[in-house]
Amino acid sequence: MSQDPIERYAERHTAPEPPLLAQLTRETHLQLLLPRMSSGHVQGRLLSMLSHLMRPRRILEIGAFCGYATLCLAEGLADNGLLHTIEIDPEKEARIRRYVAAAGITEQVRLHIGAALDVLPGLVDEVWDLVFIDADKRRNDAYFEAVIDHVRPGGLLIIDNVLWSGKVLPTHALKANDKDTPFVRAFNDKVARDARVEPVFLALRDGLLLLRKV
């Protein structure tokens, strides 16, 4: 549970974290570096709710990490729906497959190991209802451009970590000296003006950007 009192309050007033996901959370914190990269309880329930509301036939996830968001997004899949998830780190594969199997969704999930921009050309025949981008922040724009023409009108793209620990804010400009911040800021500014999508920026955790394709 978060140490922040507002986040703890949000957790107490959000649907409980399913037991399998709670187990994955514990394992992630014990065994993986940077466990905060996992979506976590409240954000995971939001991803699940959005997926349930849309009942997508095709979901694309760029950046699986431990597979937490994968399981959340898959909860709302339509009958005979498929979720394609891409993870660059082959060391994550066994854990993702183990939890996908434990969730009983092996037939609904296609795991691709490799760099997303290398994998995506093999998926050009798909039409995406829901896309979740949570990978290399410097390539947010490249991922967006690679998939936007394959998202159906009315489809939803979700981009994670768009606050980037608050470093995208103008008041942090002089302090944000890491190499990722300028790319996150430039992407946020671009899609705010992009006529192809309607954006809603949520200050949830490290920032979620929802883009409805018009």
Q: How many domains does the chain fold into?
A: 1
Sequence-distant (6+) residues with CB within 8 A of 143 are 62, 116, 117, 120, 133, 135
Contact 112, 103 (CB under 8 A): no
- The pLDDT, as a whole number, for residue 42 is 95
Parallel/antiparallel/unpaired status of strands 208-213 and 128-133? unpaired
pLDDT tens string 143-153: 999 999 999 99
Residue 34 reports pLDDT greater than 90: no
Contacts 24+ apart (CB under 8 A), 34-41: 37/65, 37/66, 37/134, 38/65, 38/66, 38/68, 38/69, 39/68, 39/69, 39/72, 39/134, 39/160, 40/68, 40/205, 41/11, 41/14, 41/17
Residue 177 reports pLDDT greater than 90: no
CA distance 161 to 102: 28
CA distance 110 to 126: 13
| 65's tokens | 């990490």
- The pLDDT, as a whole number, for residue 81 is 98
pLDDT tens string 53-91: 999 999 999 999 999 999 999 999 999 999 999 999 999
- pLDDT band for position 210 (50/70/90)? very high
Residue 21 reports pLDDT greater than 60: yes
- The pLDDT, as a whole number, for residue 14 is 97
More confident residue, 32 or 213: 213
Containing structural domain, residue 105 = 5-213
What's the mean pLDDT when you consider all of the chain?
94
For 110-128, what is the mean pLDDT?
98
CA distance 52 to 155: 14
- The pLDDT, as a whole number, for residue 104 is 97
Residue 1 reports pLDDT greater than 60: no
pTM value? 0.94
CATH code (residue 22):
3.40.50.150
Residue 169 reports pLDDT greater than 80: yes
